[in-house]
């Protein structure tokens, strides 16, 4: 079969405007799906550091208790952040010898792979002597009837510890909070996508 001159010209022209618009629309939909997945990945990666450090602190506290029969009171208060510096989007070196509680952090023997974006505080004691001194104004405690440490389930009769981490990954002034205690099996957090 022989093609006419008109058919040969049509086959050489390329894509129509409708075909190009369909392809551009498909690329836009795929890009939108990719951005949602990327944002979820970045949010999860941003919370990986404090969760890993908190688990390291938990392990170090249990090792300390195995030898000394009590947990180590590392920080003066739950808002005495280690390492020293503002809670913003910049990283700070973990071994901060200028911090007042540096000797206690060295004694607890918690290490990280590098600089950290979050600040950490650990208080410990024995019995029901815990005084909830969390910075209430900085956190909303969304979904909870009150501060987690005022919960009746947190009523230890023996040794206890509380670990708190806070950071501002995107520099907008709104802090992400992570908190756990010796009586909790998991880590409570809020504003994780701040």
- Give residue 71's domain range: 30-190
pLDDT of amino acid 182? 86
The answer to whether position 4 is within a domain reads no
Residue 37 within any structural domain of the chain: yes
Tell me whether residue 92 is in a domain.
yes
For residue 131, being part of any structural domain is answered with yes
**Residue 23 domain-assigned (yes or no):** no
pLDDT recorded at residue 147 = 67
pLDDT for the residue numbered 11: 59
What pLDDT sits at residue 61? 94
- Is residue 37 classed as helix, strand or coil in its secondary structure? helix
Closest among 66, 161, 52, 26 to 110, alpha carbons compared: 52
Query: How far is residue 36's CA from residue 59's CA, in Å, rounded to a whole number?
Result: 35
Structural domains in the chain (count) = 1
pTM of the model: 0.72
Does residue 130 lie in a domain region?
yes
* 3 state DSSP class of 159: strand
Write down the pLDDT at residue 47: 80
What is the pLDDT, as a whole number, of residue 136? 46
* pLDDT given for residue 137 in this prediction: 47
Q: Is residue 15 part of a domain?
A: no
Cβ count near 147 (within 10 Å)? 14
pLDDT at 148: 66
Residue 16 resides in a domain:
no
Q: Which residues of the chain have pLDDT under 70?
A: 1-12, 43-44, 128-153, 155, 192-194
| Residue 37 burial (10 A CB sphere; 0-12, 13-18, 19+) | exposed
8 A C-beta contact, residue 136 and residue 147: yes
pLDDT of residue 142: 57
């Amino acid at each position: 079969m022989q093609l006419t001159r008109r058919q040969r010209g049509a086959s050489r022209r390329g894509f129509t405007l409708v075909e190009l618009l369909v392809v551009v629309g498909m690329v836009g939909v795929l890009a939108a799906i990719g951005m949602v997945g990327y944002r979820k990945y970045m949010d999860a990666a941003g919370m990986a550091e404090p969760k890993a450090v908190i688990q390291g602190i938990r392990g170090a506290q249990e090792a300390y208790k195995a030898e000394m029969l009590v947990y180590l009171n590392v920080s003066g208060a739950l808002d005495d952040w280690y390492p020293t510096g503002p809670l913003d989007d910049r990283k700070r070196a973990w071994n901060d010898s200028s911090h007042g509680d540096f000797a206690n952090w060295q004694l607890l023997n918690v290490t990280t792979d590098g600089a950290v974006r979050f600040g950490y505080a650990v208080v410990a004691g024995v019995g029901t002597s815990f005084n909830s001194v969390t910075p209430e104004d900085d956190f909303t405690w969304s979904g909870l009837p009150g501060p987690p440490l005022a919960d009746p389930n947190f009523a230890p009769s023996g040794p206890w510890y509380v670990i708190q981490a806070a950071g501002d990954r995107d520099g907008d002034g709104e802090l992400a909070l992570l908190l756990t205690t010796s009586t909790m099996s998991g880590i409570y957090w809020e504003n994780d996508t701040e």
